[in-house]
């Protein structure tokens, strides 16, 4: 499997600079902000069924035209794409969700850094396991029969009472994947 972040995504493509060509001949252009003279920014990205978030971007690619688009730049283009290469899994990222807070100096960033880091952890987990970012993670089994019943009921009906029961088990500091 292969995880390519920013330059690693360019390198995975059909780059003239000894690229790996894991992308069936696709060579990636820069994300459109680069053509406007912007070299780094906090860019808004969205995924289906997820809240929009800001991620650090610095001269990264637009991954449109290859694989399955997982995360989109707010103004068009693929920020994350995934697909197969032979028997392996390829996950390419045009932003830097792993970026430390020090990289953001002065940028308008509205998403908590922890959320971006959680997304980066998901990318690594999915790349290592060869699993699509669009596949729902396996849920952790509820810790009691009452929670198991509330879990089943909420999945079936999305009812408020079972959601309240489940929410009562949440603790400050729980990772998004646990929630």
Tens of pLDDT, residues 91-121:
999 999 999 999 998 898 899 999 999 999 9
pLDDT higher than 90, residue 146: no
49 confidence band (pLDDT: 50, 70, 90): confident
14: Cβ–Cβ under 8 A, 6 or more apart, which residues? 21, 23, 25, 26, 27
Helix, strand, or coil here: 126?
A: helix
What is the residue-averaged pLDDT of the chain?
89
What is the rounded distance in angstroms from the CA atom of residue 37 to the CA atom of residue 176? 35
Phi, psi of 11, rounded to the nearest 5 degrees = -60, -30
For residues 22 and 2, give the distance between their C-alpha atoms in angstroms, rounded to a whole number.
9
Torsions phi, psi for 104 (to 5 deg): -85, -5
DSSP, collapsed to helix, strand or coil, labels residue 134 as coil
């Amino acid at each position: 499997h292969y995880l390519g972040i920013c330059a690693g995504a360019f390198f995975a493509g059909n780059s003239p600079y000894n690229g790996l060509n894991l992308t069936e001949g696709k060579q990636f252009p820069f994300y459109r902000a680069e053509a406007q003279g912007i070299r780094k920014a906090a860019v808004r990205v969205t995924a289906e069924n997820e809240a929009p978030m800001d991620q650090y971007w610095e001269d990264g690619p637009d991954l449109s035209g290859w694989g399955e688009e997982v995360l989109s730049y707010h103004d068009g283009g693929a920020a994350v794409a995934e697909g197969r290469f032979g028997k392996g899994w390829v996950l390419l990222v045009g932003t830097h969700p792993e970026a430390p807070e020090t990289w953001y100096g002065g940028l308008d960033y509205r998403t908590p850094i922890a959320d971006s880091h959680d997304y980066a952890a998901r990318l690594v987990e999915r790349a290592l396991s060869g699993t699509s970012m669009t596949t729902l993670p396996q849920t952790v089994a509820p810790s009691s029969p009452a929670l198991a019943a509330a879990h089943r009921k909420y999945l079936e009906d999305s009812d408020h009472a079972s959601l309240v029961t489940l929410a009562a088990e949440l603790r400050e500091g729980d990772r998004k994947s646990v929630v």
